[in-house]
């Protein structure tokens, strides 16, 4: 089994709902990122054995196989490069990285791009439900009697509230966490921490004028406890609001993974080594607790401890999720989401896992850190987790 390395990592700025990326199609957005991730290391795209892409809502422009249509929409890639799309809900593009790692480690492939892309502006949450068949009959719902009789109707907002209740997490703690996420993301942006990972992208401002943007759009540095207090409580919850939840956003990201032998033959420098990966299933009703169980599992596989980690990226789908993770695992909050998380930076669901990895690797290199751990909760009660070592 060969070691697997990431040699290039890039992402778009995250665009807010109906924001500056709104006119992009998903294949063109992904194709632009694919072109950039190989350009940065002067890699011939023909060397790529496969593109594995994570997307949750595989409908419309995100349908067919976005990994392949992204290749075909690119400016650099030959049509000999294949592509595939995977869906593990919010963990899709981290799972793409895990799958790519396995293919390379076993010698099946030498060079794989793992990516994520999601345009929630066009295909928002539940876009794959409530459609119709070609006959005009209802498409049907994946959550049938088998599911609802055991777990009830799936409700992530309710899951977030149940987690807050079970771990004793208050509304005030969630709001303070949200405010801090925006502050950290704003400070990181102001200090230029994201510059190396972001590909500046053309788009449109509110008035429809052409612009180039190189910063994340959803960050609200003026967020206060008072402004969060004034938000409407979401259905079936006691205090969950949009202000302590991730936002509807757009974005794409990609990393190039290689075997050690291929990397050396091309005289490329490693950014990070993939140390270990794991994935778990968790309670489908609570739904969002997976990182609590995926974290010790991947640490055990890596023969490492919480103390060995320099940073953690635990996705901020809702504030109670990382807060429960901190409590249950007695983690150091100073190492968690050090430059803000999805509450501030947005959560283009299928893209987020890869985006977190891109950000984690660049941040590890910036601070001369060694180990980073990335994990996300997902719909249906799952969580992938991967540890990276910067070299």
Active site members: 90, 347, 377
CB-CB contact of 95 with 350 (8 Å)? no
Strands 311-314 and 371-375: parallel
Cα–Cα dist 163/168, whole Å: 8
* 259: helix, strand or coil: strand
Q: For residue 324, what are its two tokens?
A: 């429960």
Backbone angles phi and psi of 279, in degrees to 5:
-150, 145
Backbone angles phi and psi of 382, in degrees to 5:
-150, 170
* Among candidate residues 280, 346, 356, 343, the one with its CA nearest the CA of residue 88: 280
CB-CB contact of 344 with 185 (8 Å)? yes
Q: Is 79 exposed, middle or buried (0-12, 13-18, 19+ CB in 10 A)?
A: exposed
Give residue for tokens 């969950």.
240
Give residue for tokens 């076993």.
106
CB-CB contact of 83 with 51 (8 Å)? yes
3-class SS string, 218-232? CCCCCCCHHHHHCCC
Count of C-beta atoms within a 10 Å radius of residue 150: 9
């Amino acid at each position: 089994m060969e070691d697997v390395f990431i040699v290039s990592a890039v992402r778009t700025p995250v665009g807010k709902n109906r924001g500056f990326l709104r006119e992009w199609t998903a294949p063109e957005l992904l194709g632009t990122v694919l072109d950039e991730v190989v350009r940065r290391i002067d890699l011939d795209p023909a060397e790529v054995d496969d593109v594995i892409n994570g997307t949750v809502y595989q409908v419309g422009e995100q349908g067919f196989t976005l990994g392949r249509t992204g290749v075909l929409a690119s400016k650099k890639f030959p049509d000999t490069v294949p592509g595939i799309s995977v869906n593990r809900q919010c963990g899709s593009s981290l799972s793409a990285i895990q799958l790519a790692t396995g293919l390379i480690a076993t010698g099946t492939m030498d060079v794989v791009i793992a990516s994520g892309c999601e345009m929630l502006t066009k295909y928002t949450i539940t876009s794959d439900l409530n459609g119709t068949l070609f006959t005009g009959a209802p498409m049907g719902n994946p959550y049938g009697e088998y599911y609802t009789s055991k777990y009830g109707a799936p409700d992530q907002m309710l899951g977030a509230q149940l987690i807050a209740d079970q771990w004793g997490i208050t509304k005030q703690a969630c709001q303070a966490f949200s405010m801090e996420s925006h502050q950290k993301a704003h400070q990181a942006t102001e200090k230029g921490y994201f510059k190396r990972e972001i590909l500046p992208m053309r788009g449109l401002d509110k008035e429809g004028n052409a612009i180039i943007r190189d910063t994340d759009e959803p960050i609200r540095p003026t967020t206060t406890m008072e402004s969060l207090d004034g938000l409407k409580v979401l259905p079936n919850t006691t205090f969950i609001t949009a202000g302590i939840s991730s936002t509807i956003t757009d974005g794409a990201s990609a990393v190039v993974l290689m075997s050690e032998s291929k990397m050396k033959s091309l005289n490329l420098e490693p950014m990070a080594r993939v140390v270990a990966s794991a994935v778990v299933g968790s309670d489908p009703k609570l739904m969002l607790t997976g990182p609590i169980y995926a974290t010790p599992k991947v640490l055990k596989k890596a023969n490492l401890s919480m103390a060995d980690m320099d940073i953690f990226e635990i996705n901020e789908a809702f504030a109670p999720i990382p807060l429960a993770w901190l409590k249950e695992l007695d983690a150091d909050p100073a190492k968690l989401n050090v430059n803000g998380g999805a509450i501030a930076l947005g959560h283009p669901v299928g893209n987020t896992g890869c985006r977190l990895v891109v950000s984690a690797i660049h941040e590890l290199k910036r601070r001369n850190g060694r180990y980073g751990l990335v994990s996300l909760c997902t719909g249906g009660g799952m969580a992938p987790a991967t540890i990276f070592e910067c070299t």
